[in-house]
């Protein structure tokens, strides 16, 4: 399966450290060789990098590692293809415009026999992930013809994700550039870093960072991943069916759902 990476922070923050660790899992320390992508929000703008090659060998990934882009919301993904061929069109994260905002989505898992109704949003590629993203936006568009906050969308998001989960494995990250919604079907972890900051060492490559030297006492940064990226910090595991909404590095809402039989 694939792996996810997300970040929510209260100040523009670079994610080079976590990104460097994740990229090793794309062909070096892990089997996810079928493409990678990462999106950085900058206000209403979204800076998107994608490459259908293995992230551990990608020159585009090396560029991102050398280019410390600062953002308050980030969504990243490395792919191990299950549904859909290996190509740029099938590379996460996927992006669509709705209500004058860039919506960004990445999925880990697989949905069996997933054929949602055709709506306004349609997939460009042939993955179940992009089909789910389009279906999710179509549900939102149907329920809310006018713009509302991500907070107001929670009932629709949770209901849809619970239905998708009943058809397979559905771990996902979704953002409109303001909040970051995360849903766990099987595997997701998070860590919130705040003062007093300390050092951390990556699991997948020999790299240490002293966060105290890179932050201020007021910074709050939450990183979400499929598996812990560091070996000397305590990561918190989501329960199956658990969802969380993050804003400014803090969890502003959360809950847990049961599987629909």
By annotation, the residues acting in catalysis are: 2
User: What is the distance between the alpha carbons of residues 32 and 243, in angstroms, rounded to a whole number?
Assistant: 25
Tokens 């989505």 map to which residue? 105
Per-residue burial over 156-176, b = 16 or more CB atoms within 10 Å of its CB, e = otherwise: bbbebbbbbbebbbbbbbbbb
CA geometry: angle 85, 88, 91, nearest 5 deg: 80
242 vs 238: CA distance, rounded Å: 6
Please give the Cα distance from 209 to 231 (Å, whole number): 12
How far apart CA 136 and CA 141 sit, in angstroms, is 9
Rounded to whole angstroms, what are the CA distances from 149 to 80, 110, 253? 33, 28, 13
Dihedral sign for Cα atoms in the order 251, 155, 181, 184: positive
Q: Is the dihedral of CA 20, 189, 47, 213 positive or negative?
A: negative
């Amino acid at each position: 399966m694939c792996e996810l990476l997300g970040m929510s922070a209260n100040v523009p923050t670079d994610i080079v450290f976590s990104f460097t660790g994740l990229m090793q899992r794309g062909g070096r320390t892990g089997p996810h060789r079928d493409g990678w992508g990462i999106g950085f929000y900058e206000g209403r703008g979204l800076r998107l990098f994608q490459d259908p090659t293995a992230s551990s060998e990608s020159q585009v990934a090396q560029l991102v590692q050398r280019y410390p882009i600062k953002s308050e919301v980030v969504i990243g993904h490395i792919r191990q293809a299950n549904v859909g061929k290996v190509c740029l069109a099938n590379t996460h994260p996927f992006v669509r415009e709705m209500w004058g905002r860039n919506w960004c989505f990445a999925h880990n898992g697989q949905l069996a026999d997933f054929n949602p109704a055709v709506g306004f949003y349609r997939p460009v590629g042939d993955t179940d992930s992009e089909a789910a993203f389009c279906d999710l936006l179509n549900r939102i568009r149907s329920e809310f013809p006018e713009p509302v906050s991500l907070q107001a969308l929670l009932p629709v998001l949770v209901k849809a994700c619970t239905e998708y989960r009943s058809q397979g494995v559905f771990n996902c990250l979704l953002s409109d550039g303001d909040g970051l919604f995360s849903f766990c079907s099987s595997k997701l972890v998070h860590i919130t870093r705040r003062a007093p900051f300390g050092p951390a060492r990556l699991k997948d490559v020999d790299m240490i960072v002293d966060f105290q030297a890179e932050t201020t006492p007021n910074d709050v940064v939450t990183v979400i991943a499929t598996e812990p990226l560091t070996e000397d910090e305590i990561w918190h595991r989501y329960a199956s069916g658990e969802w969380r909404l993050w804003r400014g590095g803090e969890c502003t809402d959360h809950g847990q759902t049961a599987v629909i039989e």
